[in-house]
Amino acid sequence: MDLGFTAVERSLRAEARAWLAAHVPPEPLASLETEAGFAQHRAWERTLHEGRWSVVSWPREYGGRGCSLLEWLVFEEEYHAAGAPARVSQNGVHLLAPTLFAHGTDEQRARVLPAMAGGGTVWAQAWSEPEAGSDLASLRSVAVRTEGGWLLSGHKAWSSRAAFADRAFGLFRSHPGADRPHHGLTYAMFPLDADGVTVRPVGRLDGKPAFAELLLDDVFVPDEDIIGEPGRGWRVAMSTAGAERGVTLRSPGRFTAAARRLVTLWRAAGEPLDGALGDRVADAVIRARAYQLHGYAQASRPGPADPAGAESSLTKVFWSELDLALHETALDLLGPRGELADTAGEAPAGGGWADGWTFALAGPVYAGTNEIQRDVIGERLLGLPKGRRG
Protein backbone atom coordinates (compact mmCIF):
# COMPACT_ATOMS: atom_id res chain seq x y z
CA MET A 1 0.00 0.00 0.00
CA ASP A 2 1.38 3.39 -1.03
CA LEU A 3 0.31 6.13 1.40
CA GLY A 4 2.37 8.86 -0.27
CA PHE A 5 1.18 11.60 -2.60
CA THR A 6 1.96 11.63 -6.31
CA ALA A 7 3.97 14.35 -8.02
CA VAL A 8 0.74 15.80 -9.42
CA GLU A 9 -0.85 15.95 -5.97
CA ARG A 10 2.23 17.55 -4.44
CA SER A 11 2.34 20.11 -7.26
CA LEU A 12 -1.33 20.96 -6.76
CA ARG A 13 -0.74 21.41 -3.03
CA ALA A 14 2.18 23.77 -3.66
CA GLU A 15 0.26 25.80 -6.24
CA ALA A 16 -2.79 26.11 -3.98
CA ARG A 17 -0.67 27.07 -0.97
CA ALA A 18 1.10 29.83 -2.92
CA TRP A 19 -2.13 31.22 -4.40
CA LEU A 20 -3.92 31.21 -1.06
CA ALA A 21 -0.98 32.93 0.65
CA ALA A 22 -1.23 35.71 -1.93
CA HIS A 23 -5.02 36.10 -1.99
CA VAL A 24 -6.66 35.18 1.35
CA PRO A 25 -7.85 38.44 2.94
CA PRO A 26 -5.56 39.45 5.83
CA GLU A 27 -8.58 40.24 8.02
CA PRO A 28 -11.60 37.93 8.44
CA LEU A 29 -14.62 38.85 6.34
CA ALA A 30 -17.85 39.81 8.09
CA SER A 31 -20.14 36.88 8.86
CA LEU A 32 -21.75 35.50 5.71
CA GLU A 33 -24.97 35.24 7.71
CA THR A 34 -25.32 39.05 7.42
CA GLU A 35 -26.14 41.08 4.31
CA ALA A 36 -22.77 42.86 4.28
CA GLY A 37 -20.86 39.66 4.94
CA PHE A 38 -22.83 37.81 2.29
CA ALA A 39 -21.73 40.39 -0.30
CA GLN A 40 -18.10 40.09 0.82
CA HIS A 41 -18.18 36.32 0.55
CA ARG A 42 -19.81 36.49 -2.90
CA ALA A 43 -16.91 38.70 -4.00
CA TRP A 44 -14.49 36.12 -2.56
CA GLU A 45 -16.18 33.46 -4.73
CA ARG A 46 -15.38 35.60 -7.78
CA THR A 47 -11.75 35.85 -6.70
CA LEU A 48 -11.56 32.09 -6.24
CA HIS A 49 -13.11 31.56 -9.65
CA GLU A 50 -10.62 33.90 -11.33
CA GLY A 51 -7.85 31.72 -9.89
CA ARG A 52 -9.75 28.57 -10.98
CA TRP A 53 -10.03 27.39 -7.38
CA SER A 54 -13.77 27.72 -6.81
CA VAL A 55 -14.76 24.29 -8.18
CA VAL A 56 -11.55 22.32 -8.58
CA SER A 57 -13.25 18.92 -8.98
CA TRP A 58 -15.57 20.04 -11.80
CA PRO A 59 -14.74 19.46 -15.47
CA ARG A 60 -12.68 22.20 -17.06
CA GLU A 61 -15.52 23.23 -19.38
CA TYR A 62 -17.45 24.52 -16.35
CA GLY A 63 -14.54 26.36 -14.76
CA GLY A 64 -13.01 23.50 -12.79
CA ARG A 65 -9.68 21.72 -12.94
CA GLY A 66 -10.97 18.16 -13.35
CA CYS A 67 -9.37 17.20 -10.02
CA SER A 68 -9.88 13.76 -8.50
CA LEU A 69 -11.50 13.39 -5.09
CA LEU A 70 -8.06 12.92 -3.52
CA GLU A 71 -6.77 16.09 -5.20
CA TRP A 72 -9.83 17.93 -3.93
CA LEU A 73 -9.05 16.73 -0.40
CA VAL A 74 -5.51 18.07 -0.80
CA PHE A 75 -6.84 21.46 -1.94
CA GLU A 76 -9.30 21.57 0.96
CA GLU A 77 -6.50 20.90 3.46
CA GLU A 78 -4.60 23.89 2.11
CA TYR A 79 -7.75 26.03 1.95
CA HIS A 80 -8.65 25.57 5.60
CA ALA A 81 -5.05 25.65 6.81
CA ALA A 82 -4.74 29.09 5.17
CA GLY A 83 -7.74 30.37 7.14
CA ALA A 84 -9.62 31.16 3.92
CA PRO A 85 -13.23 32.44 4.17
CA ALA A 86 -16.20 30.09 4.49
CA ARG A 87 -17.88 29.26 1.19
CA VAL A 88 -21.17 31.07 0.66
CA SER A 89 -21.76 28.95 -2.47
CA GLN A 90 -21.49 25.60 -0.75
CA ASN A 91 -25.18 24.66 -1.18
CA GLY A 92 -24.79 25.02 -4.90
CA VAL A 93 -21.25 23.73 -5.32
CA HIS A 94 -21.49 20.74 -3.00
CA LEU A 95 -25.20 19.79 -3.22
CA LEU A 96 -26.89 21.00 -6.41
CA ALA A 97 -23.91 20.66 -8.74
CA PRO A 98 -23.31 16.93 -8.02
CA THR A 99 -27.04 16.41 -8.53
CA LEU A 100 -26.93 18.13 -11.92
CA PHE A 101 -23.89 16.10 -12.95
CA ALA A 102 -25.77 12.91 -12.07
CA HIS A 103 -29.33 13.74 -13.18
CA GLY A 104 -29.38 17.08 -15.05
CA THR A 105 -29.41 17.71 -18.78
CA ASP A 106 -26.56 19.15 -20.82
CA GLU A 107 -28.60 22.35 -21.21
CA GLN A 108 -29.11 22.65 -17.44
CA ARG A 109 -25.43 22.12 -16.70
CA ALA A 110 -24.39 24.68 -19.34
CA ARG A 111 -26.89 27.23 -18.04
CA VAL A 112 -26.58 26.78 -14.27
CA LEU A 113 -23.03 25.76 -13.45
CA PRO A 114 -20.91 28.68 -14.80
CA ALA A 115 -22.86 31.28 -12.82
CA MET A 116 -22.65 29.08 -9.73
CA ALA A 117 -18.89 28.65 -10.10
CA GLY A 118 -18.30 32.39 -10.24
CA GLY A 119 -20.56 33.35 -7.35
CA GLY A 120 -23.01 35.08 -9.70
CA THR A 121 -25.82 32.82 -8.52
CA VAL A 122 -25.90 31.67 -4.90
CA TRP A 123 -28.27 28.82 -4.09
CA ALA A 124 -30.38 27.93 -1.06
CA GLN A 125 -31.65 24.45 -0.27
CA ALA A 126 -35.46 24.37 0.05
CA TRP A 127 -36.11 20.88 1.38
CA SER A 128 -37.36 20.89 4.95
CA GLU A 129 -40.91 21.83 5.87
CA PRO A 130 -42.54 22.49 9.26
CA GLU A 131 -43.57 18.83 9.54
CA ALA A 132 -41.06 17.29 7.15
CA GLY A 133 -37.47 17.57 8.29
CA SER A 134 -35.58 14.31 8.56
CA ASP A 135 -38.77 12.57 7.41
CA LEU A 136 -38.53 14.31 4.07
CA ALA A 137 -41.03 12.00 2.35
CA SER A 138 -43.86 13.51 4.40
CA LEU A 139 -43.49 16.90 2.69
CA ARG A 140 -46.68 18.73 1.66
CA SER A 141 -45.53 21.42 -0.77
CA VAL A 142 -46.95 20.75 -4.21
CA ALA A 143 -46.11 21.15 -7.88
CA VAL A 144 -49.20 21.41 -10.11
CA ARG A 145 -48.88 20.95 -13.88
CA THR A 146 -49.58 24.00 -16.02
CA GLU A 147 -48.81 25.00 -19.59
CA GLY A 148 -45.06 24.91 -20.14
CA GLY A 149 -44.16 24.06 -16.59
CA TRP A 150 -45.33 23.76 -12.98
CA LEU A 151 -46.82 25.91 -10.25
CA LEU A 152 -45.15 25.50 -6.85
CA SER A 153 -46.99 26.16 -3.60
CA GLY A 154 -46.19 25.43 0.02
CA HIS A 155 -43.99 26.28 2.97
CA LYS A 156 -40.27 25.49 3.13
CA ALA A 157 -38.48 26.04 6.43
CA TRP A 158 -34.99 26.30 7.92
CA SER A 159 -33.32 27.28 4.66
CA SER A 160 -29.74 28.37 5.29
CA ARG A 161 -28.80 31.78 3.80
CA ALA A 162 -32.07 31.97 1.87
CA ALA A 163 -32.54 35.57 3.00
CA PHE A 164 -29.78 36.70 0.62
CA ALA A 165 -29.47 33.86 -1.92
CA ASP A 166 -30.62 34.13 -5.55
CA ARG A 167 -32.25 30.78 -6.28
CA ALA A 168 -33.29 27.59 -4.51
CA PHE A 169 -33.79 23.91 -5.24
CA GLY A 170 -36.35 21.71 -3.58
CA LEU A 171 -38.68 18.74 -3.68
CA PHE A 172 -42.44 18.98 -4.31
CA ARG A 173 -45.39 16.56 -4.35
CA SER A 174 -46.53 16.47 -7.97
CA HIS A 175 -48.50 13.21 -8.16
CA PRO A 176 -50.79 13.12 -5.09
CA GLY A 177 -52.23 9.70 -6.00
CA ALA A 178 -48.85 7.94 -5.72
CA ASP A 179 -48.94 4.72 -3.69
CA ARG A 180 -46.03 5.57 -1.34
CA PRO A 181 -44.94 8.84 0.32
CA HIS A 182 -41.61 9.01 -1.50
CA HIS A 183 -43.23 8.39 -4.87
CA GLY A 184 -44.75 11.14 -6.99
CA LEU A 185 -42.23 13.84 -6.05
CA THR A 186 -40.57 16.31 -8.42
CA TYR A 187 -37.23 18.11 -7.99
CA ALA A 188 -37.34 21.77 -9.08
CA MET A 189 -35.15 24.87 -9.23
CA PHE A 190 -36.75 28.30 -8.76
CA PRO A 191 -35.74 31.97 -8.31
CA LEU A 192 -36.22 33.53 -4.89
CA ASP A 193 -37.31 36.86 -6.40
CA ALA A 194 -40.11 35.32 -8.51
CA ASP A 195 -43.75 36.36 -8.19
CA GLY A 196 -45.36 34.30 -5.43
CA VAL A 197 -42.19 33.82 -3.35
CA THR A 198 -42.03 35.31 0.15
CA VAL A 199 -38.69 35.04 1.97
CA ARG A 200 -39.09 35.47 5.72
CA PRO A 201 -35.94 35.50 7.92
CA VAL A 202 -36.00 33.17 10.93
CA GLY A 203 -34.42 34.25 14.21
CA ARG A 204 -31.24 32.41 15.15
CA LEU A 205 -29.41 31.92 18.40
CA ASP A 206 -26.73 34.41 17.33
CA GLY A 207 -29.21 36.94 15.96
CA LYS A 208 -27.87 36.85 12.40
CA PRO A 209 -30.58 37.09 9.73
CA ALA A 210 -29.61 34.82 6.80
CA PHE A 211 -31.67 31.81 7.94
CA ALA A 212 -35.13 31.95 6.37
CA GLU A 213 -38.37 30.20 5.57
CA LEU A 214 -39.95 30.34 2.13
CA LEU A 215 -43.66 30.75 1.42
CA LEU A 216 -44.58 29.77 -2.14
CA ASP A 217 -47.88 30.66 -3.82
CA ASP A 218 -48.29 29.41 -7.41
CA VAL A 219 -44.67 30.08 -8.32
CA PHE A 220 -44.19 29.27 -12.01
CA VAL A 221 -41.26 27.02 -12.90
CA PRO A 222 -40.64 26.13 -16.57
CA ASP A 223 -40.04 22.53 -17.57
CA GLU A 224 -36.35 23.19 -18.12
CA ASP A 225 -35.94 23.86 -14.39
CA ILE A 226 -37.12 20.38 -13.39
CA ILE A 227 -34.23 18.00 -12.61
CA GLY A 228 -34.83 14.41 -13.62
CA GLU A 229 -38.20 12.93 -14.50
CA PRO A 230 -41.27 14.55 -12.89
CA GLY A 231 -42.68 12.25 -10.24
CA ARG A 232 -39.33 10.54 -9.64
CA GLY A 233 -37.65 13.28 -7.65
CA TRP A 234 -36.91 11.07 -4.64
CA ARG A 235 -34.13 9.32 -6.54
CA VAL A 236 -32.66 12.69 -7.48
CA ALA A 237 -32.99 13.94 -3.91
CA MET A 238 -31.12 10.93 -2.54
CA SER A 239 -28.21 11.88 -4.77
CA THR A 240 -28.18 15.32 -3.13
CA ALA A 241 -28.55 13.81 0.36
CA GLY A 242 -25.56 11.55 -0.18
CA ALA A 243 -23.46 14.60 -1.03
CA GLU A 244 -24.83 16.50 1.97
CA ARG A 245 -23.84 13.82 4.46
CA GLY A 246 -20.52 12.76 2.97
CA VAL A 247 -17.03 14.21 2.99
CA THR A 248 -17.64 16.74 0.20
CA LEU A 249 -19.83 19.05 2.31
CA ARG A 250 -17.60 18.83 5.40
CA SER A 251 -14.12 18.09 4.15
CA PRO A 252 -11.55 16.59 6.55
CA GLY A 253 -9.30 19.62 6.00
CA ARG A 254 -11.84 21.75 7.86
CA PHE A 255 -11.41 19.65 11.00
CA THR A 256 -7.66 19.04 10.87
CA ALA A 257 -7.18 22.82 10.60
CA ALA A 258 -9.53 23.40 13.55
CA ALA A 259 -7.68 20.73 15.56
CA ARG A 260 -4.37 22.51 14.93
CA ARG A 261 -5.88 25.79 16.11
CA LEU A 262 -7.18 24.00 19.21
CA VAL A 263 -3.69 22.73 20.05
CA THR A 264 -2.34 26.27 19.61
CA LEU A 265 -5.07 27.51 21.94
CA TRP A 266 -4.19 24.87 24.53
CA ARG A 267 -0.51 25.86 24.44
CA ALA A 268 -1.38 29.56 24.60
CA ALA A 269 -3.41 28.84 27.73
CA GLY A 270 -0.22 27.58 29.34
CA GLU A 271 -1.00 23.91 28.74
CA PRO A 272 -3.48 23.68 31.65
CA LEU A 273 -2.90 20.91 34.14
CA ASP A 274 -6.54 19.87 33.88
CA GLY A 275 -5.94 16.34 32.67
CA ALA A 276 -9.48 15.86 31.42
CA LEU A 277 -9.21 18.99 29.27
CA GLY A 278 -5.91 17.83 27.84
CA ASP A 279 -7.46 14.46 27.05
CA ARG A 280 -10.28 16.19 25.18
CA VAL A 281 -7.78 18.18 23.08
CA ALA A 282 -5.89 14.99 22.25
CA ASP A 283 -9.11 13.14 21.46
CA ALA A 284 -10.25 15.89 19.08
CA VAL A 285 -6.90 15.82 17.27
CA ILE A 286 -7.02 12.03 16.94
CA ARG A 287 -10.59 12.06 15.65
CA ALA A 288 -9.81 14.80 13.11
CA ARG A 289 -6.86 12.74 11.88
CA ALA A 290 -9.05 9.62 11.70
CA TYR A 291 -11.58 11.51 9.58
CA GLN A 292 -8.75 12.68 7.31
CA LEU A 293 -7.60 9.08 6.80
CA HIS A 294 -11.22 8.02 6.19
CA GLY A 295 -11.38 10.64 3.44
CA TYR A 296 -8.18 9.33 1.86
CA ALA A 297 -9.57 5.79 1.97
CA GLN A 298 -12.82 6.84 0.31
CA ALA A 299 -10.93 8.73 -2.39
CA SER A 300 -8.56 5.86 -3.09
CA ARG A 301 -10.88 2.94 -3.56
CA PRO A 302 -12.13 2.10 -7.04
CA GLY A 303 -15.71 2.65 -8.14
CA PRO A 304 -18.35 4.90 -6.59
CA ALA A 305 -17.34 6.24 -3.18
CA ASP A 306 -20.56 5.05 -1.58
CA PRO A 307 -22.61 2.82 -3.87
CA ALA A 308 -25.17 2.05 -1.17
CA GLY A 309 -25.55 5.66 -0.06
CA ALA A 310 -25.63 4.52 3.56
CA GLU A 311 -21.97 5.13 4.38
CA SER A 312 -22.61 8.86 4.06
CA SER A 313 -24.79 8.48 7.19
CA LEU A 314 -21.78 7.11 9.06
CA THR A 315 -19.70 10.05 7.88
CA LYS A 316 -22.34 12.61 8.81
CA VAL A 317 -22.66 11.37 12.40
CA PHE A 318 -18.88 11.40 12.78
CA TRP A 319 -18.14 14.90 11.46
CA SER A 320 -21.11 16.54 13.19
CA GLU A 321 -20.08 15.17 16.60
CA LEU A 322 -16.42 15.98 15.96
CA ASP A 323 -17.29 19.59 15.08
CA LEU A 324 -19.18 19.99 18.34
CA ALA A 325 -16.39 18.40 20.42
CA LEU A 326 -13.75 20.68 18.86
CA HIS A 327 -15.66 23.87 19.62
CA GLU A 328 -16.86 22.88 23.08
CA THR A 329 -13.28 22.07 24.08
CA ALA A 330 -12.08 25.42 22.72
CA LEU A 331 -14.73 27.34 24.65
CA ASP A 332 -13.82 25.49 27.86
CA LEU A 333 -10.19 26.48 27.30
CA LEU A 334 -11.10 30.11 26.69
CA GLY A 335 -13.49 30.45 29.60
CA PRO A 336 -16.02 33.33 29.61
CA ARG A 337 -14.06 35.26 26.93
CA GLY A 338 -14.81 32.51 24.49
CA GLU A 339 -18.49 33.35 24.50
CA LEU A 340 -17.92 36.86 23.09
CA ALA A 341 -19.52 37.33 19.67
CA ASP A 342 -17.68 38.47 16.57
CA THR A 343 -19.00 41.99 17.09
CA ALA A 344 -16.97 42.32 20.32
CA GLY A 345 -13.54 43.75 19.56
CA GLU A 346 -11.82 41.67 22.26
CA ALA A 347 -13.42 38.37 21.20
CA PRO A 348 -10.77 35.63 20.82
CA ALA A 349 -10.11 34.70 17.18
CA GLY A 350 -12.56 37.41 16.12
CA GLY A 351 -15.39 35.43 17.71
CA GLY A 352 -14.65 32.49 15.45
CA TRP A 353 -14.83 29.85 18.18
CA ALA A 354 -18.16 31.15 19.50
CA ASP A 355 -19.60 31.40 15.98
CA GLY A 356 -18.29 27.93 15.17
CA TRP A 357 -19.88 26.52 18.31
CA THR A 358 -23.35 27.92 17.57
CA PHE A 359 -23.09 26.53 14.04
CA ALA A 360 -21.81 23.16 15.30
CA LEU A 361 -24.84 22.87 17.61
CA ALA A 362 -26.98 22.44 14.51
CA GLY A 363 -24.75 19.74 13.01
CA PRO A 364 -26.48 16.76 14.66
CA VAL A 365 -29.82 18.11 13.36
CA TYR A 366 -29.39 19.36 9.78
CA ALA A 367 -28.77 17.07 6.80
CA GLY A 368 -30.98 14.50 8.54
CA THR A 369 -30.81 14.15 12.32
CA ASN A 370 -28.17 11.87 13.77
CA GLU A 371 -30.93 9.72 15.27
CA ILE A 372 -32.21 9.00 11.75
CA GLN A 373 -28.67 8.43 10.47
CA ARG A 374 -28.06 5.87 13.23
CA ASP A 375 -31.21 4.04 12.13
CA VAL A 376 -29.86 3.99 8.56
CA ILE A 377 -26.48 2.70 9.76
CA GLY A 378 -28.11 -0.03 11.84
CA GLU A 379 -30.49 -1.20 9.15
CA ARG A 380 -28.48 -0.83 5.92
CA LEU A 381 -24.87 -1.26 7.04
CA LEU A 382 -25.24 -3.59 10.03
CA GLY A 383 -28.31 -5.50 8.84
CA LEU A 384 -30.26 -4.92 12.05
CA PRO A 385 -34.07 -5.13 12.07
CA LYS A 386 -36.08 -1.97 11.58
CA GLY A 387 -36.56 -0.03 14.79
CA ARG A 388 -38.60 3.01 15.62
CA ARG A 389 -39.22 3.95 12.00
CA GLY A 390 -40.42 0.45 11.08
For 58-88, write each residue's pLDDT tens digit: 999 999 999 999 999 999 999 999 999 999 9
Per-residue model confidence (pLDDT) at position 273: 66
Alpha-carbon gap, residue 185 to 271, rounded angstroms: 55
Over residues 320-345, the mean pLDDT reads 88
CA 169 – CA 247 distance, rounded (Å): 21
Instruction: Report the chain's mean pLDDT, rounded to a whole number.
Output: 90
pLDDT digits (tens, 9 = 90+) for 270-309: 877 677 889 999 999 999 999 999 999 888 876 655 544 6
Catalytic residues: 244
End-to-end CA distance of the chain: 42
Q: Enumerate domains of the chain plus CATH numbers.
A: 7-87 (no CATH), 123-232 (2.40.110.10), 246-382 (1.20.140.10)
Taken in order 233, 58, 18, 75, is the CA torsion positive or negative?
positive
Q: Are strands 185-191 and 167-173 parallel, antiparallel or unpaired?
A: antiparallel
pLDDT above 90 coverage of the chain, percent: 63
Do β-strands 123-126 and 167-173 pair in parallel, antiparallel, or remain unpaired? parallel
Tens digit of each residue's pLDDT (9 = 90 or more) over 222-267: 999 999 999 999 999 888 877 666 677 789 999 999 999 999 999 9
Indicate the pTM of the whole model: 0.89
The mean pLDDT of 350-370, rounded to a whole number, is 87
